[in-house]
Amino acid sequence: MVGVISLITGMAGPSGFGSASTAEKVTEGIDANNLTAIITGGASGIGLETTRVLALRNVHVIIAARSMESAEKAKQQITQENKFARVDIMKLDLCSTKSVRSFVENFIALDLPLHILINNAGIMFCPFKLSEEGIEMQFATNHLGHFLLTNLLLDKMKQTAKTTGIEGRIINLSSIAHRYTYCRKGIRFDKINDRNGYSNKKAYGQSKLSNILHANELSRRLQEEGVNITANSVHPGVIMTPLMRYSSYLMNFLKIFSFYIWKNVPQGAATTCYVALHPNVKGVTGKYFVDCNEFKPSPFARNKPLAKKLWDFSDKLINSISKA
């Protein structure tokens, strides 16, 4: 109930910020000129605003995007507004493990540090479709691609954290939709790619649940290893962005009756930017954030055995793709 009241009123939580806070507001006064970040899907929607605000705080940002044309336009937009912005673009298609591996190889070749990884990109409510590697598209893009990307970049992040002494931060963008998934088991592991019984909304919820479970299990492993890297997940809020292109008519209709819970893009990017940069989040890991405050996710999202099962399942799935 407190969360709903905060959402409607914009009332600040324990962090001092709330649903009405913007990305610029929650990062005000922070100078991050010694940090480098990768943002997937950083060329549009809240990803673009996240890129803009991190660049405003002097972070060197690499936009990882499927469309180089969109990424170039985003870069130009940001650098025209801020001549000191450090923004580079690189091609990444998350639904292709080949593209993910190629992106990582190209990034490593740049010999840059990596302090922040924001797994922001995603698709939502799309019709049933398989990736070129035979994986259901929402699971492939929203979870599996980010799972592989994160694993392949971990050594670089560990090296950066060790040599610089600066805490690394990994942020997965999830959604309150993680509560709406297929079954009592949370994830239908045996039917990930099955057209029968496919629901575009439940498949989306399943992928967003996977984002939280991935961050939680990653956090556990990093803590066990004693690595100076945190892993958290966030719900950005309900925002009309290109992510909703498959359901824009429905969302516009619903917005008429639920206008009080919708955020604008600067507000939608606030929680991501807060968890990525704010000093109050130092050392905080394995948590789920809503409106820049820690929030308790669904029981499925707090299920440690389920998180480990998803990790093992994802690892095995990627290995099977690599051998194909």
Q: Which pLDDT value is given to residue 162?
A: 98
Structure tokens at 312: 């093992």
Residue 69 in this model has a pLDDT that exceeds 60: yes
93-102, 178-187, 217-226, 304-313: segment of lowest average pLDDT: 178-187
Contact 140, 131 (CB under 8 A): yes
- Reported as a pLDDT band with limits 50, 70 and 90, residue 84 is very high
CA-wise closest residue to 23 among 297, 278, 294, 282:
278
DSSP structure string for 153-184: HHHHHHHHHHHH-PPEEEEEE--GGGGS-SST
Helices (H), the chain: 2-9, 23-26, 45-56, 68-81, 97-109, 137-138, 145-164, 200-225, 248-257, 265-268, 270-277, 304-323
Q: With pLDDT > 90 as the criterion, what percentage of the chain qualifies?
A: 85
Pairing mode, if any, of strands 288-290 and 293-294? Answer: antiparallel
Q: Which pLDDT value is given to residue 251?
A: 44
Active-site residue identified among 182, 198, 204, 260: 198
182 an active-site residue?
no
Q: Which pLDDT value is given to residue 2?
A: 40
Q: Which pLDDT value is given to residue 139?
A: 98
pLDDT per residue as tens digits for the range 101-155: 999 999 999 999 999 999 999 999 999 999 999 999 999 999 999 999 999 999 9
Specify the pTM.
0.92
The mean pLDDT value for 192-210 works out to 96
| Rounded-to-integer distance, Cα 279 and Cα 110, Å | 28
Residue 249 in this model has a pLDDT that exceeds 50: no
Structure letter (DSSP) for residue 286? S
| Rounded-to-integer distance, Cα 280 and Cα 164, Å | 20
Q: Which pLDDT value is given to residue 8?
A: 57
* CA-based radius of gyration for the chain: 18
